[in-house]
Amino acid sequence: MNRADLLCIVTMLHLILASQSPRRRELIRLLNYPFSSMAANADEESITHPNPAANVVHTAQLKAAIIAAQLPPPQAPTMIVAADTCVTLDGQMLNKPADEADARRMLTALRGREHEVHTGVVLLDPASGQTVTAVHTAIVTMRAYSDVEISAYVATQDPLDKAGAYAIQHPVFAPVARLDGCYLGVVGLSVCQLLTLLAQFNVPLRADLDAATAAHKGFPCPLLADLRAA
């Protein structure tokens, strides 16, 4: 790709986030490319792969395909970004809780224990159909929060739209004692992983890595360390 082509991408590239999640919208801003967001309305229950890491990638691919089918022929460089996250404990996927009782059950099961968070990311060029995918798995250790803390957190309703019934970024409950992996992936979109996928399309890096570091809230990220070293 010559310099003129790179300049065209830098000035014209538009990202479409296959999600209306406020968390993912906030994270994708770290890329410093203009973006819009669309709800994919995917039937996530239709993805039944038994491997959680594969399941999140397949679900993200479904979301990207749904958005691509809705778009008119692109008039400028466009990329669709889709992601999906799941929490697994003892090999079992913990999805969004059905109700408050289910949220309490999940949080009690996770308390003081180590589990995995898988985040699949898909980048789709709707003009060519080219797709690249990746999955990041973080190992998360929860702190030994009390039953009273669980009840107070569930009462906020925050757990009800979260896989595994918790948000790592919650400022009061603060459930995580240790994290091995990308903090942003646990939040819902590994921007660090996404930057490596954009590089496969020769998209220039515009992200402020200092801002990305700050967004990790003090948790070191191996993916971000690799980006800084590159």
CATH number of the structural domain spanning residue 151: 3.90.950.10
Between strands 14-17 and 78-89, the pairing is parallel
Domain count for the chain: 1
DSSP for 53-80 reads HHHHHHHHHHHHHHHHHHPPPPSS-EEE
Model pLDDT, residue 11: 54
Regions of the chain short of the pLDDT cut 50: 1-9
Catalytic status, residue 84: yes
Q: What is the pTM of this model?
A: 0.90
Alpha carbon distance 60, 82 (integer Å) = 5
Q: Residues in the chain, how many?
A: 230
Angle between helices 100-110 and 147-155 (to 10 degrees): 140
Alpha carbon distance 63, 192 (integer Å) = 20
Backbone angles phi and psi of 84, in degrees to 5: -150, 145
For the chain, the average pLDDT equals: 92
Catalytic-labelled residue, pool 5, 43, 84, 158? 84
Model pLDDT, residue 133: 97
Residue 194: domain span: 3-229
Model pLDDT, residue 45: 77
Model pLDDT, residue 12: 79
Q: What are the Cα distances from residue 143, in Å, to 98, 112, 140, 149, 217?
A: 23, 5, 10, 11, 17
